[in-house]
C-alpha cells in the first residue's frame, strides 16, 4: 500500500468530520460513510441470478425484503473469495441513480465505526493503483493506518463501468 508521506491533499474538500465504517477486502482497509449503513449481518443464503450483471451476482432476503448483493470486488478489480468466519454482509440504504435503494455488500470483516476528518482526505497517487479511480473518493487516516474511502455515487451506479463525463 502507498505510504502516507507520498499522498497529497485532495482539492476542494469540505472540512467536516464524518463517521465511517471500516471494513476489509483481501487485507485492504476500505471506508464508507456510516450515513448509508442500514445494518450489518452475518452471511445469509444468497440466490444467484442467471444472466445478471457480474457486479450483481445474487439477491439476499433481509428481513423479508429482497436486496441485491453488489460485488464490489468485481468493481474494484479484486479477485473473488469465499466468505470466511469473519465475513459480514453490510446492508446499505443510499440513492442509486437518484432513487433511494437498499443493497448489500459482502466484506471479509467489519472492523470499526470511527470519525475521520474529510479535510485530511488525500488523493490516491497515480502510481498504478489497481482500483478504478472513479470508485475512490480518497484515502483517510484511521489512527496509524490508512483506509480507502469509497465513492458510493459511482460504485453503486448501474452505469459505473465507465465514469460519467462532466
Q: What is the pLDDT of residues 42-97, one digit of tens each?
A: 999 999 999 998 899 999 999 999 999 999 999 999 998 999 999 999 999 999 88
The answer to whether residue 67 sits within a structural domain is yes
**H/E stretch holding 75:** helix 72-75
pLDDT of residue 96: 87
The answer to whether residue 160 sits within a structural domain is no
CATH code for position 44 = 2.40.50.180
The answer to whether residue 75 sits within a structural domain is yes
**H/E stretch holding 148:** strand 145-150
Q: Can you tell me the distance from the alpha carbon of 16 to that of 121, in angstroms, rounded to the nearest whole number?
A: 10
CA distances from 21 to 12, 29, 44, 104 (A): 23, 10, 20, 14
- Long-range contacts of residues 118-121, Cβ cutoff 8 Å, at least 24 apart: 118/13, 118/14, 118/15, 118/16, 118/17, 118/18, 119/13, 119/14, 119/15, 119/16, 120/9, 121/9, 121/10, 121/13, 121/149
The DSSP output letter for 76 is T
The answer to whether residue 20 sits within a structural domain is yes
Please count the structural domains in the chain: 1
**H/E stretch holding 154:** helix 152-155
The Cα diameter of the chain in Å comes to 47
The answer to whether residue 166 sits within a structural domain is no
Instruction: Indicate the pLDDT class of residue 127, thresholds 50, 70 and 90.
Output: low
Q: What is the pLDDT of residues 98-108, one digit of tens each?
A: 889 999 999 99
The answer to whether residue 163 sits within a structural domain is no
Residue-number span of the structural domain to which 69 is assigned: 4-155
The answer to whether residue 162 sits within a structural domain is no
pLDDT surpassing 60 at residue 135: yes
CA torsion through residues 94, 137, 35, 109, sign: positive
The answer to whether residue 80 sits within a structural domain is yes
Amino acid at each position: 500500500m502507498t505510504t502516507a508521506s507520498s499522498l497529497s491533499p485532495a482539492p476542494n474538500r469540505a472540512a467536516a468530520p464524518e463517521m465511517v465504517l471500516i471494513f476489509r477486502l483481501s487485507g485492504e482497509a476500505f471506508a464508507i460513510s456510516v450515513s448509508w449503513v442500514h445494518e450489518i449481518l452475518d452471511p445469509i443464503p444468497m440466490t444467484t441470478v442467471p444472466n445478471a450483471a457480474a457486479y450483481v451476482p445474487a439477491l439476499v432476503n433481509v428481513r423479508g425484503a429482497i436486496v441485491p448483493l453488489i460485488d464490489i470486488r468485481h468493481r474494484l478489480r479484486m479477485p473473488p473469495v469465499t466468505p470466511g468466519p469473519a465475513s459480514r454482509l453490510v446492508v446499505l440504504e443510499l440513492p442509486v441513480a437518484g432513487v433511494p435503494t437498499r443493497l448489500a455488500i459482502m466484506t471479509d470483516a467489519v472492523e470499526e465505526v470511527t470519525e475521520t476528518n474529510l479535510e485530511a482526505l488525500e488523493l490516491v497517487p497515480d502510481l498504478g493503483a489497481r482500483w478504478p479511480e472513479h470508485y475512490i473518493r480518497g484515502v483517510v487516516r484511521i489512527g496509524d493506518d490508512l483506509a480507502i474511502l469509497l465513492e458510493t455515487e459511482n460504485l453503486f451506479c448501474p452505469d459505473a463501468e465507465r465514469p460519467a463525463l462532466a
